[in-house]
């Protein structure tokens, strides 16, 4: 069983974290551990039709963001890593500087020190030099900065198309491949090839 931490912070784009939890429900060998900050709960209420308790219920286990003694705060609790979707600048700054004031930052710091993958779907634009500096610092610590940039080569028709493609690509960074991801084949898009079905590819 692969454990994956999914954190949702207060940045715009709560649907990315929600969709990640929804998509992972179809993966039987992945156990999800969700963390929602208080700001995330406000953003969820404003941007989506979900209630916070509905989002928490999508995960196999939910962890209070204030519970610094939670299982995911320890390196001895083995996970495949952590997806922060979306990631606010505040959370990015905390991760870049190991300022472990809440469980989201602490869990990310633990994953980094254990050399586990941490993917930060940073939601902010435009960026000033300070933002770029802390992105570089987080990257030096081992995090992957993945702004949720739409893949227009996939010819999205709906907002769901954009969200699904972006989240699917983020999950592939944890070696979790889901059907329906559109892939560039050199001349166009091919959504029939899934690395999970074709491990030799």
pLDDT at residue 190 in the model: 80
Residue 70 pairs with which residues in a beta bridge? none
Residue 131 has pLDDT above 70, yes or no: yes
Distance, CA of 105 to CA of 76 (rounded, Å): 17
pLDDT at residue 199 in the model: 39
Residue 173 has pLDDT above 70, yes or no: yes
Residue 197 has pLDDT above 90, yes or no: no
CA nearest to 45, candidates 85, 10, 20: 10
Classify each residue of 76-105 as buried b or exposed e, where b means 16 or more C-beta atoms within 10 Å of its C-beta.
Answer: eeebbbbbbbbbbbbbbbbbbeeebebbbb
Residue 108 has pLDDT above 50, yes or no: yes
Residue with tokens 């204030």: 66
24 in Cβ contact with 1 (< 8 Å) = no
Query: How large a percentage of the chain has pLDDT more than 90?
Result: 90
Q: Which CATH architecture has domain 2-190?
A: 3-Layer(aba) Sandwich (3.40)
Helix (H) or strand (E) holding 120: strand 117-122
Condensed to tens digits (0 to 9), the pLDDT of residues 151-170 reads: 999 999 999 999 999 999 99
Distance, CA of 195 to CA of 192 (rounded, Å): 10
Average pLDDT value for the chain? 94
Distance, CA of 36 to CA of 55 (rounded, Å): 9
Residue 196 has pLDDT above 60, yes or no: no
Strand, coil or helix: 105: helix
CA nearest to 43, candidates 81, 5, 83, 85: 85
Higher pLDDT, residue 39 or 200? 39
């Amino acid at each position: 069983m692969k454990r994956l931490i999914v954190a949702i912070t207060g940045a715009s784009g709560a649907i990315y974290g929600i969709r990640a939890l929804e998509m992972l429900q179809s993966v039987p060998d992945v156990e999800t551990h969700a963390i929602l900050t208080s700001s995330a709960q406000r953003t969820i209420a404003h941007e989506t039709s979900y209630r916070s308790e509905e989002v928490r219920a999508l995960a196999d286990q939910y962890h209070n963001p204030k519970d610094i003694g939670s299982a995911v705060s320890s390196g001895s609790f083995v996970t495949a890593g952590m997806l922060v979707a979306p990631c606010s600048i505040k959370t990015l700054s905390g991760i870049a500087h190991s300022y472990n004031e809440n469980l989201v930052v602490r869990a990310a710091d633990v994953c980094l020190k254990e050399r586990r993958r941490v993917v930060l779907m940073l939601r902010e634009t435009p960026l000033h030099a300070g933002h770029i500096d802390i992105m570089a610092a987080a990257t030096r610590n081992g995090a992957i900065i993945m702004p949720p940039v739409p893949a227009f080569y996939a010819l999205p028709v709906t907002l769901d198309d954009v969200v699904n493609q972006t989240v699917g690509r983020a999950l592939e960074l944890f070696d979790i491949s889901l059907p329906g991801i559109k892939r560039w084949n050199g001349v166009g898009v091919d959504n029939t090839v899934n690395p999970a079905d074709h491990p030799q590819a």
